[in-house]
Every structure is written in structure tokens, then in C-alpha cells.
Amino acid sequence: MNVIGAIIAGLAGTAALTMVMSMAPKMGMPEMDIVGMLGSMFGKANRTLGMVIHFMMGIVFVLVYAYLWSIGTGSATWLNGLIFGAVHWLIVGMAMAMIPMMHAGIKSGAVKAPGMWMTNNGGMKAFVGGLMGHMVFGLVAVLVYNLF
């Protein structure tokens, strides 16, 4: 397992996912502002904090991907990048339903609860948009990781 490669791949994958999220409304998808949601998690909205948390999470996920590949669960191929990205979305999407329990902005009513797979923010379009974004994340992450 190449830790440095995984960190760089996590940064690249998160950058690609962030670009997909920023383009989503221009493609007819709902706004997917995970940065805003993360940045308001502890109180007053702070987009810089949200972006830092978002990129840190991307690094952690690619470290998990790389570990799994190193122990023989899949391998660092483009197909597995897409699959890992899809599974990643299914897992974190379920966790979205639990965010209101610990999110100060949602508790205060300043931020809308996202719901499972962010479906409170666009229904099936939000689900599909999140899935596409995380598959792009997985694909970019595996392609960059293979450079190391």
C-alpha cells in the first residue's frame, strides 16, 4: 500500500467530486452543497472548514480503498474504482440520515436535513447525482493511485 499515493489520489478524487458537485445544477441536478453542510456542522457556517473536512474525508476513503486493495479485496483497476465509488456512495448516503443527530446547523433550523442519500434535496436526482459523483471520485482516485 502506498500511503503517499493514496493521499494524493484522495485529494485528486475529492477535487473531481467537488467539480461534479459544482456543475450539478448546470446539468439539471439539484445543488449538492456538502461543503456548506460540513462547514456549518459545528455552528456558524464556515466554507473553508467545510472544504478542509471534505478533502480530509476523501483522503481517508482512498486510504481505506488502498488498504482493501493491498489485502486482496479487489485491485486498483478502473472498474474497481467505479465499484468502490458506488459502494462508498451507498454507505455514506445512509450515514446522511444520521447527520441531524450531530449537526448544529440542522438542529437550529439554519440548514435543511439532507435525508438518506441527500434525497431531501432533490429526490432521485440527488441520489443519481451523488452516485455519479462518487463513481467519478473512485475512478479518478484509482487512476491517480496507479501513478504511484
Q: For the whole model, what pTM was predicted? A: 0.93
Per-residue pLDDT of the chain (148 residues; tens, 9 = 90+): 999 999 999 999 999 999 999 999 998 889 888 999 999 999 888 999 999 999 999 999 999 999 999 999 999 999 999 999 999 999 999 999 998 899 998 988 888 899 999 999 889 999 999 999 999 999 999 999 999 9
Packing angle between helix 78-95 and helix 123-145, nearest 10 degrees?
A: 140
